[in-house]
Amino acid sequence: MNEVLATLLGACVGAVAAIAGAYITTGRQHKIEAGYRLRLAFHEELAVLRDASDNSDPCDILKSSLKKHLIAVEEFKFAICKRKIPSFEKAWEEYYKVDGFPFPEQYFKHLGGIELANKNRELAIQRIEHILSFTRA
């Protein structure tokens, strides 16, 4: 009788462990896929911003892609743990908004010469990299 109970208990513990493992694996896989889509959403713009020979206006580059970025950011929020969401949202707000309003013009290159243009380009790169840092681990 004790052997039957031990077998049943072992089977129950094994089933619970298998279910927990599957749940953890599924959640991790969802985060990996959402992180990939987030990185992919910023990939082209980041490459253009990093290309020093490209003289494009960062504002124009980013403005045309904001909808794509917003969709990827919203999707990624569902894949990260709840305690990281406020930090992630703050990183997005710093990139996307000024005083609470969408304002890609903060990266406009013609506001004050080549130095400011390069600073704005670097600022955009840093803010994008900060957003993408949430896709690691």
Distance CA 89, CA 74 (A): 9
The answer regarding whether domain 2-135 maps to CATH 1.20.120 reads yes
Instruction: State which amino acid sits at residue 99.
Output: D
pTM exceeds 0.85, yes or no? no
The token duo for 117 is 């243009």
For residue 6, what pLDDT is reported? 64
Question: Among 31-45, 76-90, 95-109, which is the least confidently predicted range?
Answer: 95-109
| Residue 119 pLDDT greater than 60, yes or no | yes
Q: Do 89 and 77 form a contact (C-beta atoms < 8 A)?
A: yes
For residue 46, what pLDDT is reported? 92
Average pLDDT over residues 30-53: 88
| Residue 112 pLDDT greater than 70, yes or no | no
For residue 90, what pLDDT is reported? 95
| CB neighbours of residue 32 within 10 Å | 12
Average pLDDT over residues 76-82: 91
| DSSP result, 55-112 | ---HHHHHHTTHHHHHHHHHHHHTTS-GGGHHHHHHHHHHHHEETTEE-GGGG-GGGS
Please give the share of the chain, as a percent, with pLDDT higher than 70. 74
For residue 103, what pLDDT is reported? 79
